[in-house]
C-alpha cells in the first residue's frame, strides 16, 4: 500500500476565515512537512473559500 502523506490535518469550518489564516501560518512553521491539509467548508460567507 502506497500512502501519499503520513498525516492529514482535517479542518471543518464555517465562517472562520481568520482562524484558518492563523492555522495556515502555524502549519507552515512545522518542522514535519509530510502532511496534507484538508479544509471542508460548510458554505461560509466570510471569504473562507478565497483562502
Give the whole-angstrom CA distance, residue 43 versus residue 48: 9
Cell numbers for 12, please give them: 471543518
pLDDT above 90 covers what percent of the chain?
71
Are 15 and 44 contacting, i.e. CB atoms less than 8 angstroms apart?
Answer: yes
47 alpha carbon, distance to own chain's centre? 15
Residue 30 is assigned to a structural domain of this protein = yes
Residue 49 is assigned to a structural domain of this protein = no
Residue 11 is assigned to a structural domain of this protein = yes
User: Tell me, what's the pLDDT at 50?
Assistant: 87
- Determine the structural domain holding residue 26 and report its residue range: 7-41
Q: Is the dihedral of CA 15, 17, 23, 24 positive or negative?
A: positive
Residue 16 is assigned to a structural domain of this protein = yes
Residue 20 is assigned to a structural domain of this protein = yes
Give the whole-angstrom CA distance, residue 27 versus residue 42: 22
pLDDT above 70 covers what percent of the chain?
90
Residue 36 is assigned to a structural domain of this protein = yes
- Identify any residues that bridge with 37 across adjacent strands, giving them in sequence order: 9
Residue 19 is assigned to a structural domain of this protein = yes
Residue 34 is assigned to a structural domain of this protein = yes
Residue 12 has pLDDT above 80, yes or no: yes
User: What's the total number of domains in the chain?
Assistant: 1
Amino acid at each position: 500500500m502506497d500512502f501519499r502523506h503520513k498525516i492529514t490535518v482535517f479542518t471543518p469550518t464555517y465562517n472562520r476565515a481568520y482562524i484558518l489564516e492563523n492555522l495556515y501560518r502555524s502549519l507552515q512553521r512545522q518542522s514535519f512537512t509530510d502532511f496534507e491539509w484538508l479544509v471542508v467548508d460548510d458554505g461560509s460567507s466570510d471569504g473562507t473559500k478565497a483562502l
